[in-house]
Amino acid sequence: MKFSNKLLFILTVFTIFKVQAQIDYKFGFRAGATLSQMFGPKETDAAGNNLESYKTTARICVGGTFSMPFNDYIGLGAEVLFSQKGALHRFEADNSYLRLDGTVSNMNLTQIFTGQKRIRSVNITNGYVEIPITFYAFAIKDRLMFDFGPSISFLVSSRSLGILKYGAIDPVNPDPADFLEIELDLRGTDDAGALADRAVDKTGRLDQTTINYPSRIGSYYNFNEKRGTLFNTVDYGLNFGASLFFTKGLRVGTRVYYGLADVTNNNYDVQQSSLDANKEFIFRKDRDSNFGVQLFIALQF
């Protein structure tokens, strides 16, 4: 290597280390709440009325932060968060079906009923390790900051609790003798065809016939094989946020997350209003995505 090339190499390395030394890396943590929601196509009746809905629910978000300023106004940020996402989901139809694939005493017993009211209400809570990468810019130096960028999330926990009711349900004065009520305890770790923990057999009456049915069912109760988890393991989307600094280290902020991935597994995404001509499930290919608004407080050093 010629002397001039050696000198250029040394100067380049020196410059890189000097720039690195001048960068004021900042680490910190943040914690807050997420107003979480899901959106996607809804089942409808023959008249086009929605049979299902998603409602907002409160979840938590906490983790560590890192920022690399380019100058006093712009820079890059990264975070590693534990972020809960989900929604309150409700389905209600007057003319629907109920499929029972086993009881505590007889897991080989299949019972199918049609033509009565079905109400399914479930509170979805999915826990993710989320990694946002954001570009930030100060509109007011050391006071008002905006950020935006993508993030990827990995599902680490999933549990949904709810109730399934089926039968002649009077919305004003419901009589428990006229419908079945089953608890839903849906976990990603459930086995195919399994009931939920602490399930017992209950007695009810449908189509003028007394039947036995399980009190609690799991995620894959109606499936004889497990093809992935109820919710997909990877989510990704875009973040847009703003923060107000009280000091150089302390801030409060808000961030909007718009999901781009389908978070529900189409292997279990079945139509709830009707079965096919052979009384088998009709599968849907809906794209259900996460949406959330975070409110947080953060401290960085």
Mean residue pLDDT across the chain:
91
Q: Residue 230, exposed/middle/buried by CB under 10 A (0-12, 13-18, 19+)?
A: buried
Task: Quickly state the pLDDT bin for 176 (edges 50, 70, 90).
Answer: confident
What does the pLDDT read at residue 10? 47
Kindly tell me if the per-residue pLDDT of 6 is higher than 50: no
> What pLDDT is attached to residue 19?
45
Residue 245, number of CB atoms within 10 A of its CB: 19
pLDDT above 70 coverage of the chain, percent: 92
Q: For 95-120, what is each residue's pLDDT tens digit?
A: 999 999 999 999 999 999 999 999 99
pLDDT given for residue 232 in this prediction: 96
Q: What is the dihedral of CA 296, 162, 273, 158, to 10 degrees?
A: 50
Tell whether the model's pLDDT for residue 13 goes beyond 90.
Answer: no
Interatomic CA distance for residues 93 and 95, integer angstroms: 6
Summarised one tens digit per residue, pLDDT across range 65-84 is 999 999 989 999 999 999 99
pLDDT digits (tens, 9 = 90+) for 177-186: 889 999 999 9
Q: In sequence order, what DSSP letters do the residues of 190-244 get, joined into one string?
A: PPTTPBPTT--EEEEEETTEEEEEESEE-TTTT-SS--S-SB-SEEEEEEEEEEE
Return d(Cα 191, Cα 222) in angstroms, integer.
11
Q: Is the dihedral of CA 124, 261, 274, 190 positive or negative?
A: negative
- Give which of 85, 75, 29, 96 is closest to 282, Cα–Cα: 96
The H-or-E segment that residue 13 falls in is helix 3-22
Prediction pTM value = 0.88
CA distances (Å), 117 to each of 91, 113, 122, 208, 297, in order? Answer: 10, 11, 17, 15, 45
**132 pLDDT exceeds 70?**
yes
The whole-number average pLDDT for the span 193-217 is: 93
pLDDT for 261-297, tens place per residue? 999 999 999 999 999 999 999 999 889 999 999 999 9
d(CA 79, CA 245) in angstroms, rounded, equals: 18
| CA distance linking residue 165 with residue 182, whole number of Å | 6
Give the lowest-confidence range in 9-13, 62-66, 95-99, 171-175. Answer: 9-13
Query: CB neighbours of 123 closer than 8 A, spacing ≥ 6?
Result: 57, 86, 88, 89, 160, 161, 162
The yes-or-no verdict on residue 174 having pLDDT over 50 is yes
pLDDT of residue 281: 96
pLDDT, tens digit (0-9, with 9 covering 90-100), for 208-251: 889 999 999 999 999 999 999 999 999 999 999 999 999 989 99
Q: Name the strand (E) or helix (H) holding 33.
A: strand 26-39
Evaluate whether 230 touches 265 at the Cβ level (below 8 Å).
yes
Whether residue 4 is predicted with pLDDT greater than 80 in this model: the reply is: no
Give me the long-range contacts of 72-75 (CB less than 8 A, separation at least 24). Answer: 72/138, 72/141, 72/142, 73/137, 73/138, 73/141, 74/135, 74/136, 74/137, 74/138, 75/135, 75/136
Conformation bin of residue 19: beta by default, left when phi > 0, alpha when psi is -120 to 50: alpha
CA atoms of 84 and 53, how far apart (whole Å): 20
Q: Can you give the pLDDT at residue 25?
A: 84
Mean predicted confidence (pLDDT) in 26-44:
95
What is the pLDDT confidence band of residue 203, given thresholds at 50, 70 and 90? Answer: very high
Sign of CA dihedral 112, 107, 180, 204: positive
pLDDT band, residue 18 (cuts 50/70/90): very low
- Which one has a higher pLDDT value, 175 or 31? 31
